[in-house]
Structure formats: structure tokens, C-alpha cells
């Protein structure tokens, strides 16, 4: 998963993504569809944070809820999974198989969550001003576009 160029250096934290998804889940106008397994994973990670002050991204990398979830960190998890598989060999029992499969699935869900987060943020950035809301100037990128092209004036 690659971070969209517009968001390099602005990657979201677990806390930001969790708040965003829970807010969007209760919203009528949302550009993305939020699935129950995505909310369940975010809730699982936040529950771990509330109990231990940290969580493990993909079951491998210790993370603070305030650290950005970057492509580099996701790649680190994937590399660590490969390294451990090579170093330790095949799983010994069904519990190990289940744990490995669960962590792999969690990482896939996190990648999907981030894709949706970026899609929503792009949508919000290009959102035109709402004339029914006093002082609304639209999204950040829309405002830049207005300045460059003088549209909407």
C-alpha cells in the first residue's frame, strides 16, 4: 500500500482513523462504505491502547495510538512476518496457524481502512463551499483551486 502523494508526511494515527470512521459510520453523506470488520479492528486496537497504552500493528510492531500509520511501517510488518516465517519455520499447531492468519488479516484490513481514509480525505479536500453554511469555504484543495483559477467567484 502506497500513501497518496498528497498525504505523505500527513499520515493518520490510529486515534484519528478511529474517530473518522466512527463519525462517518453515523453520517448520512459519506463517500466511503465502512464495514463492520473495519470498525471491529479499530475498536480492538483502541481497547488494547486503553488497557496497555499501545497496540501492535499487524501483531508485529509496537505502536503508540498517536504515531502515524505509514506505508513504511506496514512494509516493516510484512518484512517481519517473512523474517519470522523463515527464522521459525512452519507453525507447530493450530493455535499458531490461527494467530498468524488473524494477524495477516488484520494487516489487510488496516490497509483497506487507510485506503478508505485517504479516499474520504481527498473527497473532503476537494469539497466545494456549502453556501448554506455561513463561513464555509470548502475543502483545503478546493480553496487552493479557487485561488489559482478564480472559479466560484
User: Three-state SS across the chain?
Assistant: CCCCHHHCCCCCEHHHHHHHHHHHHCCCCCCCCCCHHHHHHHHHHHHHHHHHCCEEECCCEEECCCCECCHHHHHHHHHHHHHHHHHHCCCCCHHHHHHHHHHHHHHHHHHHHHHHHHHHHHHHHCCCCCCCCCCCCCCHHHHHHHHHHCCCC
Whether 68 maps to a domain, the answer reads: yes
Summarize the confidence of residues 132-141 as an average pLDDT.
81
Whether 108 maps to a domain, the answer reads: yes
Whether 4 maps to a domain, the answer reads: no
Whether 3 maps to a domain, the answer reads: no
Q: How many domains would you assign to the chain?
A: 1
Q: What would the pLDDT profile of 99-133 be if each residue is shown by its tens digit?
A: 989 999 999 999 999 999 999 998 888 778 888 88
Whether 57 maps to a domain, the answer reads: yes
Mean pLDDT of the chain: 90
Q: What would the pLDDT profile of 5-44 be if each residue is shown by its tens digit?
A: 888 899 999 999 999 999 999 887 788 899 999 999 999 9
Q: pLDDT at residue 153 above 80?
A: no
What's the predicted TM-score (pTM) here? 0.83
Whether 102 maps to a domain, the answer reads: yes
Q: What range defines the domain where residue 21 resides?
A: 9-152
Residue 152: predicted pLDDT: 59
Residue 138: predicted pLDDT: 79
Q: pLDDT at residue 140 above 70?
A: yes
Whether 122 maps to a domain, the answer reads: yes
Higher pLDDT, 27 or 73: 73
Amino acid at each position: 500500500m502506497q500513501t497518496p502523494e498528497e498525504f505523505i508526511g500527513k499520515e493518520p494515527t490510529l486515534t484519528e482513523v478511529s474517530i473518522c470512521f466512527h463519525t462517518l459510520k453515523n453520517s448520512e453523506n459519506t463517500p466511503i462504505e465502512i464495514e463492520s470488520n473495519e470498525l471491529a479492528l479499530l475498536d480492538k486496537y483502541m481497547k488494547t491502547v486503553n488497557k496497555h497504552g499501545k497496540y501492535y500493528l499487524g501483531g508485529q510492531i509496537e505502536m503508540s495510538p498517536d504515531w502515524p500509520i505509514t506505508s513504511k511501517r506496514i512494509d516493516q510488518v510484512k518484512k517481519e512476518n517473512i523474517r519470522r516465517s523463515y527464522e521459525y519455520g512452519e507453525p507447530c499447531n493450530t493455535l499458531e496457524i490461527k494467530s498468524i492468519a488473524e494477524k495477516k488479516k488484520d494487516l489487510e484490513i488496516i490497509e483497506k481502512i487507510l485506503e478508505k481514509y485517504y479516499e474520504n480525505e481527498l473527497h473532503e479536500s476537494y469539497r466545494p463551499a456549502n453556501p448554506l453554511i455561513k463561513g464555509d469555504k470548502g475543502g483545503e484543495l478546493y480553496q487552493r483551486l479557487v485561488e489559482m483559477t478564480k472559479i466560484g467567484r
